[in-house]
Amino acid sequence: MYITDDNDGLKTKIALPVYVNYGRIEDFEELEKLGINVSGKICIARYGKLYRGNKVENAQIRGAVGVVLFSDPSEVARNGTEPQNVFPNSWWVPGTAIQRGNIKLVKGDPVTPNYPSVDGAFRYKPEEVNIPRIPCQPIGYNDAWNILKLMDGQAVPDNWKGLLNITYRYGPGFKPENRARKLRLVVNNEYTSKVIYNVIGVIRGMVEPDRYVLVGNHRDAWSHGAVDPSSGTSQLLELTRVMGGLLMDGWRPRRTLVFGSWGAEEFGLIGSTEWVEVCIVTKPCLVNF
């Protein structure tokens, strides 16, 4: 998540919350029809239907000062939120789990758009590139329940309801007994530069070596990555093992095979995007392997 500093040095917003369903354009248009203005508010949106970064972009365009994202049980706990129906007793998501992910609107390193992020490259300032300008924080549905159950305003239609045991309301703000309260959103992410690594394997083609078949998978994960990306990485490694065995037996493919284990995918497809941009500029793939 990319955000700007407030005067206190923290990424802090204090405002009334508004429930915006999935944060789609049509959801904001529905709020506008109802006379609900999200400008200066913190939008509460549930995951689903479109990329999380577009949810933040849609809110930002309409003047919101922050976004809170949550995974509704209707998407991640469809058998119910009771302990026996969620992890570790089931594969459905418990209320304490948080879905993490970047909200960038560009692929690769955002400060080197469409060219490789290598030593000596010109870099734009963060405020000069297309990245979100308002803070965003994901939460679990237990925390979402604690916010949404207090909200005031008209009850939402059925297609805006999830499976939390509350009456979903638009807001803005809280019910009379909590009218003086506001939502405080603090996100302490930092801009920083890090070196990332791609691991590339190549089997040169026999007939058309300058034509490439690319097979790849990212290996970085927000957490342990049991499903994403370790399942894909295990397949990539097994495929390269088999192909390597065939190569040692004298086989060689018609075209060049390139195997890529990409880094920093979770931060916005950085490893794979930057590798392609490097190839376009320096043609490293044309080296005789």
Residue type, 46: R
The catalytically annotated residue of 29, 57, 82, 265 is: 265
The CATH number of 11-187 is 3.50.30.30
The structure's pTM equals: 0.86
Q: How far apart are CA 51 and CA 241, in angstroms?
A: 35
The token pair that represents 253 in the structure block: 């493919």
Q: Where are the domains of the chain?
A: 11-187, 199-283
Is residue 100 very low, low, confident or very high in pLDDT (cuts 50, 70, 90)? Answer: confident
Q: Say whether pLDDT at 35 is over 70.
A: yes
Cβ–Cβ under 8 Å, residues 53 and 69: no
In terms of phi and psi (left: phi > 0; alpha: psi -120 to 50; beta: otherwise), the region of 135 is beta
Cβ–Cβ under 8 Å, residues 153 and 20: no
Q: Comparing C-alpha atoms, which of 158, 149, 162 is closest to residue 17?
A: 149
Q: How far apart are CA 252 and CA 248, in angstroms?
A: 9
* Bridging pattern class, strands 199-203 and 208-218: unpaired
Active site residue 265: yes
83: Cα separation from own chain's centroid: 27
Q: How far apart are CA 25 and CA 32, in angstroms?
A: 11
Q: How far apart are CA 104 and CA 264, in angstroms?
A: 13
Identify the three-state secondary structure at position 187.
strand
Could you read off the pLDDT of 162-197 as tens digits, one per residue? 999 999 999 999 999 998 999 999 998 888 888 999
Q: Is 192 exposed, middle or buried (0-12, 13-18, 19+ CB in 10 A)?
A: exposed
Q: Which residue has the higher pLDDT, 188 or 92?
A: 92
Q: How far apart are CA 15 and CA 184, in angstroms?
A: 7
Could you read off the pLDDT of 195-233 as tens digits, one per residue? 999 999 999 999 999 899 999 999 998 876 677 888 889
